[in-house]
């Protein structure tokens, strides 16, 4: 079965629409999101509505949690904080209610989904070193764990008791005796110097993960951010994928 794995949409409607248009044709799509539907961008409610109409499932990201006062934002940088205050003000009732229903962790047969790390998902730590990857591997009960949060696609591999990091490659063929933590990158605010939206497709029958990079109307997404009075930096960074 093919699973469509997305993450970190961040209220970027233009990126989200382009990504959805690129989904492979299929009547029953299994779409799962590793969190952060909102925050940073200018269209939180429409993005949540799209997520619902796609029938996608989603875990709670730190920006989702911040927008419904479910996490501490003292460690957020000034732009992120401003975006949280803006999102709290603009989130409609149904969007707020939807975010309240999101779990920290989802499991679906051969894979698990969490925004940050599996060992303390409510703390939203970055999966950014072998030690943290090992903590997650220790309690991971599936072959693969998909994560988001850093907006940088890449993977940790557990092979014969050791953890290896592999930077972004378009295609990952899963080895039989290894396990994986895969960062799926970001739909709405890529930070790996490639401004195109990023997501992946996991074929659990063939054990292959394929990344896709999708061009979208970055200028309109940037313009929406400026028009809404959100920090200019949040619009400008989309141009460079930073
Ligand atoms: Zn994010």
- Dist. CA 5 → ligand 1 center (Å): 15
> What percent of the chain is modeled with pLDDT above 90?
98
User: What pLDDT was estimated at residue 107?
Assistant: 97
pLDDT digits (tens, 9 = 90+) for 33-73: 999 999 999 999 999 999 999 999 999 999 999 999 999 99
CA 208 / ligand 1 centre spacing (Å): 25
What is the pLDDT at residue 166? Answer: 96
From ligand 1's centre to the CA of 13, what distance in Å?
A: 15
pLDDT for 242 equals: 92
Give the pLDDT band (50/70/90) at residue 211: very high
Q: According to the model, what pLDDT value does residue 68 have?
A: 98
- Reply yes or no on whether the pLDDT at 27 is more than 80: no
pLDDT higher than 90, residue 192: yes
Give distance in angstroms: CA of 190 to centre of ligand 1: 9
- Ligand 1 centroid–CA 61 distance in Å is 7
Does 147 have pLDDT greater than 80? yes
Q: Ligand 1 centroid vs 189 CA: distance in angstroms?
A: 8
19 — pLDDT class (breaks 50, 70, 90): very high
| C-alpha 25 to ligand 1 mean position (Å) | 27
Rounded to an integer, the average pLDDT of 108-129 is 96
> How many Å lie between the centroid of ligand 1 and the Cα of residue 130?
21
Distance 227 CA to ligand 1 centre (A): 22
Give the distance (Å) from ligand 1 centre to CA of residue 2. 24
Distance 127 CA to ligand 1 centre (A): 13
Mean pLDDT of 158-185: 97
For ligand 1, the distance from its centroid to the CA atom of residue 160, given in whole angstroms, is 31
Cα Rg of the chain, angstroms: 17
Average pLDDT over every residue of 111-126: 97
Judged against a pLDDT cut of 90, whether residue 29 lies above it is answered with no
pLDDT of residue 73: 97
Sheet with 154-159: strands ordered across: 105-108, 111-114, 144-147, 179-183, 154-159, 162-167
Ligand 1 centroid–CA 20 distance in Å is 18
Mean pLDDT of 79-95: 98
The rounded distance, in Å, linking the Cα atoms of 98 and 75 is 25
Residue 28 reports pLDDT greater than 90 = no
pLDDT, averaged across the chain: 97
Q: How many A from CA of 120 to the centre of ligand 1?
A: 17
| Cα 140 to middle of ligand 1, angstroms | 22
Cα(122) to centroid(ligand 1), Å: 14
How remote is the CA of residue 177 from the centroid of ligand 1, in Å?
31
This model's pTM is above 0.95: yes
Mean pLDDT computed over 137-160 = 98
Average of per-residue pLDDT across 184-211: 98
């Amino acid at each position: 079965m093919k699973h469509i794995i997305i993450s970190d949409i961040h209220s970027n409607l233009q990126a989200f629409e382009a990504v959805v248009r690129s989904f492979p044709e299929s009547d029953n799509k299994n779409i799962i999101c590793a969190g952060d539907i909102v925050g940073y961008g200018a269209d939180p409610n429409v993005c949540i509505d799209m997520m619902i109409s796609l029938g996608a499932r989603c875990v709670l990201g730190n920006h989702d949690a911040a927008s419904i006062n479910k996490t501490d934002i003292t460690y957020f940088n000034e732009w992120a904080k401003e975006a949280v205050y803006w999102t709290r003000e603009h989130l409609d009732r149904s969007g707020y209610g939807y975010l309240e229903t999101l779990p920290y962790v989802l499991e679906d047969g051969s894979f698990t989904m969490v925004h940050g790390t599996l060992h303390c998902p409510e703390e939203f730590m970055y999966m950014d070193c072998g030690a943290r990857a090992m903590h997650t591997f220790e309690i991971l009960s599936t072959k693969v764990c998909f994560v988001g949060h850093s907006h940088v696609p890449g993977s940790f591999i557990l092979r014969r008791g050791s953890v290896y990091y592999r930077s972004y490659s378009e295609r990952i063929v899963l080895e039989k005796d290894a396990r994986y933590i895969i960062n799926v990158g970001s739909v709405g605010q890529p930070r790996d110097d490639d401004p195109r939206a990023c997501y992946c497709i996991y074929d659990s029958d063939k054990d292959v993960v394929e990344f896709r990079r999708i061009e979208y109307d970055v200028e309109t997404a940037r313009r929406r951010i400026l028009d809404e009075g959100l920090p200019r930096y949040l619009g400008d960074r989309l141009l460079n994928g930073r």
